[in-house]
Structure 1
Amino acid sequence: MGSISVEPNRKEAVVIGAGFSGIYALHKLKEAGFDVHLYEAGSGVGGIWHWNCYPGARVDTPVPTYQLTSDETWTGWNWSQRFPDYSELRTYFQHLVKVWDLGSLITFNTRVEAMRWDEQSHQWTLQLRHTNTTPSSSEQQDEEVVARDVVVCTGFGSKPYIPPFPGLSKFQGELHHTGLWPQTGLDMTGKRVAVIGTGASGVQLIQEAAKQAAHLTVFQRTPNTALPMRNDQYDEAMNEAWKKTFDDTKQTILRTYAGFDYEFDPGSALQVAPEVKADFYRNLLKSGGLHFWLGTYSDVLFSEEANAEAYEFWRQTVLPRIHDPRNQEILAPKVATHPFGTKRISLEKQYFEVFNQDNVDLVSLVDNPIVEVTETGIRTADGGFHELDIICAATGFDSVTGGITSIDIRGTDPKESIKDKWSNGTSTLFGIMVNDFPNLFLMYGPQAPTAFATGPSSAECQGDWIAACLSYLRDHHLTRIEPTKAAEQDWRDHTLDMGEKGLFTKAKSWYYGDNIPGKPREALNYMAGLPTYRKKIWDSATNDYEGFNLAA
């Protein structure tokens, strides 16, 4: 890897990644008095909101729930819209860094490429690659850092994935993944553009690309049961209103399944009158956001009958918005391709109307797959050819585990990386630590609530626990913590069991690793909800970290 510093930089703790989890962990460890430093591969804070800067990129969790809850972070902060876009969220992250005085503790443009555990000294050695150095200073590109504890906050969507379409490398136009969008932007005006994929980023990008491109071709892999966003603007009065009630909101966030300020209705969709159900569903859709998904009747994600009714209600609201009967069946098929809500729900603003435009074509890859990418475009199975200037891959990520396994992490057995360990199935304790990898902490990763919780709520939940754990070790003169094999296996079994409940296994999704060839099919997220998860991790802590081996 080039030259390495003779004297490694030494820290008590290192944090990897500057999203919600990383920034919160850095703050908590600094507050607890640790000598801590954060390394970020990008050029700025924000995590996903640094990398995802494509047109239309915005969060689908409304404020004020999509923010951290420490008083100093919100009392002097105002939002401009209900669902902030990436640029406003970047500004919010800069606000966090300023409020908590974290700037001197962050190094940007630095990727952690490898980590090695030393059993003798109970510490990690990290190999860093600085990506902003000039060719004339190549001897400064690599660095070693030594730390007792490492907190990995790479997030669930930090390793972009593009399927190996035949001939893709031949394409002579521009090719961009939504998760690696040019920081300087991309002008699509007057261009022939393709968007492959209609997940969350695809839906957002398609709505904007259709306004700019001379012609847009959308290649849909799976229909998206997108819900209306209703992105209200926040003026001074709106900001004053949410601040007056935010102390109550914080308590609600702690009680709800996913960290929202609303919850599933305890009633059954199968036990209410049709007219009552219809009014309930109409009101959920009018609310905007994810209410129709996460504020619905409690049995919609468990009963196929209740689920089918909810899907049909959604479908009937969408069909009148799509003029072409062919496109109606592709975008909102009569028979659902998977149970409603078992794949990631997206939010939309006039998404379905886009396909009424003369400059937009829709291709169903189920019926008409891509057979070849050439120098000038995409050829499909029906013999059609789409000439293109730009291909936008909204094709997702090696989610949840990919950001972690992309680092060559080796623990007590130098011959086995964490990627090797997880090659046949993921195993952790609480989604926070891994047997054979002492003093390594994970946030917003596998077997934790992660994709089934808001980012800020998850960060606070896990960040508080990790800071308390490291403080406990320090106060008790302990230098090593590692989960037992038995506790790790029990947590894996419990996580998989929770994943089998409900209808989620009936869909092929990144929740189960289905989008990555060769990846084991398993529940990658803990699906029992934040309150249950929070109780389990703190029960362990209050019982002297039951399930862990601690050593001096």
Structure 2
Amino acid sequence: MIDSNSSTESVDVMVVGAGVTGLYAVHRLRGLGYRVRGFERGDDVGGVWYWNRYPGARCDVESVDYSYSFDEDLQQEWDWSEKYAAQPEIMRYLRHVADRFDLRRSYTFATSVTSVELDEETLRWTVRTDRGQVVSARFCVFAVGCLSRTHLPDIPGAGEFAGATYHTGEWPHESVDFTGLRVGVIGTGSSGIQSIPLIAEQAAHLTVFQRSANYSIPAGNEPLDDEARRRQKAGYAERRRLSRLSGGGSPHMAHASRAFEVSERERRAAFARRWELGGVLYAKTFPDQLSDLKANEAARAFWEEKVRVLIDDPEVADLLVPTDHPIGTKRIVTDSDYYATFNRDNVRLVSLRENPIQRIDGAGIVLADGTVVELDAIVFATGFDAMTGAVDRIDVRGRDGRKLTDVWREGPRTYLGLAVNGFPNLFNLTGPGSPSVLANVVLCAEQHGDWLTDCLRHLDAHGYLAIEAREESVEQWVTECRERAATTLYPSANSWYLGANIPGKPRVFMPFIGGLGAYGEIIADVADQGYRGFDLIRN
């Protein structure tokens, strides 16, 4: 509704983002009868999958698991075509969900929220956009995603390049044809590893510029036939039950024993099974693999043994095998023919550790030793300002006009990853302080969306105007997240989990590392105890 005395629209809830998390939040909140207003900077739903259209973009969670569980008819009617869905199929699925539940009518697309400011007298939020809209909302819900603010490294001369440039996180919607071109790809994280094989098939010559080698495992992708889909759909209930109890939101549990409590033969057989399963789950073959260096080294050695046979040139293999972090402490990539791509005559690998980029000029990339790599196109596969970047670009001001970026200056400070002291009725879903990027984000979205819905229902039923995290609760949660991470090997890697890829960003391990199941028990217990750690504020 529009305030009769102004051009300000008044709603119950404002939701930022129309990705997996935002769509579910809108669906649940509308179910409470709330007037919900959503904004999305893209032209359609999809979130990270709307923007990440680069060649080979594919989810590293099995399709059957990377899907909503809240509606049985939806589960049964949708047919996935392959084990690991590619970006176009995921977009079709999310569009189908938006259509089926009529979610688009709550959104304004191609619109960015620029500021969110608290009115301390009414405890309502004033929301402004880049298109001039002003909205007053009782509740403000951020569903902006952890991997949605792209990072472009500051390389001297980048603007001088005469050819085409692309970023994997903001790929054009029209087709990009590299046929006959000299292409450079900067970065060998997930998007680089997934796109490089397909770019190599088109390009006349491809130069890969690698700063840090990453661990990747073949996806073992395969088409799904009707019989496979029938089995999956018949077993959905148990699959979802196991996934919610797990650490990562997948039904594939770690081995019951620690790595060196079994024989070498059994240990290698377990690694082989996970290798065949494909993808990120290899990091969780044994329960101590990410906390014990000896167990981790066993997993790493098996991985290296499998990978080296895929690469013809031992010197190239030396560059592609990581030596600077334990396996799994950066997200393991799920690839299709990545390592074999370096056997192609038209592909060259440049180690930026040995020969850094000095600058970019009109002709291409100039290396520290003076070598000029002449290029027709450059692809920046340089990732994201992860976890906090998308929130940071919104001017969020709470009590006393305090900016959220100032509160988070030394790292994100949340209670349960959901709320921040001084920002009543503002919620950040599936972000820092929650399992988020360490788990299946679709189940994370449902977990947070359900908790939020129950919370707001509780406020209304008991006559509360607002809910706000206490500062001591925030401090305790930040400490708990830090201490849990310190018991693992994760902090030993310079990963985007710690913001290490962004110059000047504080080095803080941002996700909750205890797993989806344990986290679910914690937030449920908080709710059962009358929202312990929060102040509930009456009218």
Superposition pairs of residues 303-382 of structure 1, within 5 angstroms: 303-332=292-321, 336-382=323-369
Q: 1:435: how far off?
A: 0.6
Cα distance in 1 for partners of 2:19, 2:479 equals: 29
Corresponding position: 1:52 with 2:52: yes
1:34 is matched with which residue?
34
Number of the residue aligned with 1:137: none
Range 381-390 or range 366-375, more displaced:
381-390
1:15-34 to structure 2, matched below 5 A, reads 15-34=15-34
Q: After TM superposition, give the deviation of residue 464 of structure 1 in Å.
A: 0.3
Whichever residue aligns with residue 520 of structure 2, its letter is R
> What is the aligned partner in structure 2 of residue 132 from structure 1?
none
Counterpart CA distance in 2 for 1:400 and 1:528 is 17
Distance 2:86 2:472 in 1: 44
Structure 2 alignment gaps of length 5 or more: none
Which residue in the other structure is 1:459 paired with?
445
1:120 and 2:108 are equivalent in the alignment: no
**Which residue, out of 450, 465, 472, partners 1:486?**
472
Give the conservation status (yes or no) of the 8 Å contact 1:12–1:149.
yes
- Judge which range, 160-169 or 262-271, deviates more: 262-271
In structure 1, give the amino acid aligned to 2:184: A
Q: Please state how far the C-alpha of 1:73 moved relative to its aligned partner.
A: 2.1
Per the normalisation by structure 1, the TM-score is 0.95
- In 2, distance between residues paired with 1:370 and 1:266? 46
1:195-206 residue pairs with structure 2 within 5 A? Answer: 195-206=185-196
Matches within 5 A, 1:456-535: 456-535=442-521
Match of 1:385 in 2: 372
The question of 1:403 aligning with 2:393 is answered: no
Q: Does 1:169 align with 2:156?
A: no
Cα distance per residue 1:159-200 (max 9 Å; x no partner): 100111111121121221111111113221111111111111
Which letter maps to 2:44?
G
Question: Is the 1:62–1:289 Cα contact (8 Å) retained in structure 2?
Answer: no
Residue in 1 that maps onto 2:150: 160
* Residues 72 and 99, structure 1, Cα contact 8 Å, conserved in 2: no
State the SS of the aligned residue for 2:505: coil
Aligned amino acid, residue 498 of structure 1: R
For 1:304 and 1:477, locate their aligned partners in 2 and report how far apart those are by CA, in whole Å. 52
The alignment partner of 2:434 has SS state of coil
The equivalences for 1:262-281 within 5 A come to 262-281=252-271
1:245 aligns with 2:235: yes
Q: Quick one: distance in 2 between partners of 1:488 and 1:348?
A: 38
What is the identity, as a one-letter code, of the residue corresponding to 1:97? A
Contact 2:280–2:331 (CA<8 Å) still a contact in 1? Answer: no
Distance 1:94 1:181 in 2: 19
Alignment check: 8 A CA contact 2:430 2:444 kept: yes
1:290 match: secondary structure? helix
Q: Which residue of 2 aligns with 1:302?
A: 291
Moved over 3 A (4+): none
Determine the structure 2 residue equivalent to 1:417: 403
CA contact (8 A) 2:167 2:381 kept: yes
In the alignment of these two chains, the number of paired residues is 533
Q: Secondary structure at the match of 1:114?
A: strand
CA deviation after TM superposition for structure 1 residue 331, in Å = 0.5
- Which range moved further: 363-372 or 93-102? 93-102
| 1:542 maps onto 2:532 in alignment | no
Equivalent-residue separation in structure 2 for 1:330 and 1:100 (angstroms):
49
Partner Cα separation in structure 2 for residue 207 and residue 214 of structure 1: 13
Q: Does 1:441 align with 2:427?
A: yes
The CA RMSD over aligned residues, in Å, is: 1.2
CA shift, 1:257, in A, is 0.7
Shift of 1:491: 0.5
Check whether the contact 2:245–2:517 (CA below 8 A) recurs between aligned residues.
yes
Residue deviations 1:366-398 (CA, integer Å, cap 9, x gap): 111101111120011122111111111111111
1:438 Cα deviation from its structure 2 partner: 1.0
Following TM superposition, by how much is the alpha carbon of 1:499 offset from its aligned partner in structure 2, in angstroms?
A: 1.1
> Residue 171 of structure 2 aligns with which residue?
181
State the one-letter code of the partner of 2:409: S
1:273-328 deviation line (CA, Å, top 9, x unaligned): 2222222222221222333222x111211111121121111111111111112101
| Matched letter for residue 81 of structure 2 | S
Question: 8 Å contact 1:447–1:523 — kept in the other structure?
Answer: no
Percent identity (aligned): 37
Tell me how far apart the structure 2 counterparts of residues 185 and 52 of structure 1 sit (CA, whole Å).
13
C-alpha displacement at 1:76, in angstroms?
Answer: 1.1
1:319 and 1:328 in contact (8 A); partners too? yes
Q: Which SS does the other structure have where 1:444 is aligned?
A: coil
Contact 2:435 2:513 in 1 (8 A): yes
Indicate the larger mover: 515-524 or 96-105: 96-105
Whether the 8 Å CA contact 2:245–2:518 is kept in 1: the answer is no
Aligned letter for 1:90? M
Amino acid at match of 2:305: Q
Residue 180 of structure 1 aligns with an amino acid whose one-letter code is E
Aligned mates of 2:107, 2:154 — CA distance in 1 = 36
Q: Deviations over 1:128-153 (max 9, x none)?
A: 12xxxxxxxxxxx3110111001101
Offset, 1:261:
1.0
* Displacement of 1:439: 0.7
The answer for unaligned runs of 5 or more in structure 1 is: 130-140
Q: 2:132 and 2:383 mapped to 1: Cα distance?
A: 30
Q: Do 2:433 and 2:511's aligned partners in 1 also have CA atoms closer than 8 Å?
A: yes
Residue 72 of structure 1, CA deviation? 3.1
